[in-house]
Structure 1
């Protein structure tokens, strides 16, 4: 029993040790990785980050290059001298840096080089075996983390710039984004309701006027008279007399036909119609 417990304890210790080794990531060191410790040093990586930020991004900005005209201005210079992959990485990195520039802050274009600078650099080989350089770029308002992923040949494979903001600034931005989102939703709903309210004017031509009781009675009388005009000889038709009497009563607004009597029906014109 003791031997089994001992074996189990040794196995657990080995597993814990392997897990710890797998999760161990050394900071500011490339020892044990595919990167050469003689080439990828603190000084060399800081110089590389400064070259990217100073000699590329800042210089392009002062030349009037923006993310919109980046391809037109720099594609042939970068792609022909290096590769399409390097062009894509630099274009993405410059777009990220350009968007963060206002939050970083600088006094003027004349002082841009001194207002923006790489303050410090840290690096590590991540769990995927890729060297990640974290360069802190300092501006007049904020600092930003410029992450650079490097291959073992020293080629950048990805560049991104993220401004370091305080908790209150992050909450303020989140609140503004929420208000903008809700405002847009309500604006769209109001616009839809306005469009729906205009449908009768655009497609219906307004509501149809409601007919009065007198107009309805007049139409009923006209229809009865029209039927009379189409008959040949109806002077002895008792049902027709009753219909005419009812129509006259409805037209006059009477409750019954006691106030008058139909004595005769005479056809005046076979082709008579009311216009």
Structure 2
């Protein structure tokens, strides 16, 4: 039997949100590693590995055959969730894309508001745009956790449609609920601190851009958010990640 590969920390955290017995949709599956791993470890009863491009889907098809999970993992060419029926998945993973792209995929699938499906979302960039979309459209962040992968910090969100619009503060678009769950160990504290540092630098760059463009209101907003984040880092991590 072919030995099973290890997921990288980013995908491993995504996988940790998927419970045993789930019906999975993996959007933007690329090589298909996540659904294959979940199938081989007995975590999903069915999975659809979907991608917009035929090339990645062909690579995923080869891997599905290699690891002999054809009876569990189905492959599908799909632009986001457009080729899915509402009842096909109760857990949907969308990872490795920009936050604005993930928001667009969710916005194009209004049936998500009727199914109760859980969404595991992992934005690579523009996470603030995704969090704003979720808050404005009634998707609640149930849990959010940080992770370091290849030396870069990311955040993974578990969300579901509840109809409630989240009234977050000035830092909500940039941190979401990252610090609302206890950080379980030093590795997670290190990842959280790195993520906060990344978001602080992002806010500083946004502030510079707004100042250069003469956007005084936006500049003030970014300046206030950056100062609030500095204060939060001082309070939550007075001794670094220790």
The interval holding the TM-score normalised by the smaller chain is under 0.3
Higher helix share: 1
Higher strand share: 2
- Structure 2 length as normaliser, TM-score? 0.27
- Structure 1 length as normaliser, TM-score? 0.24
Q: Which has the larger radius of gyration?
A: 1
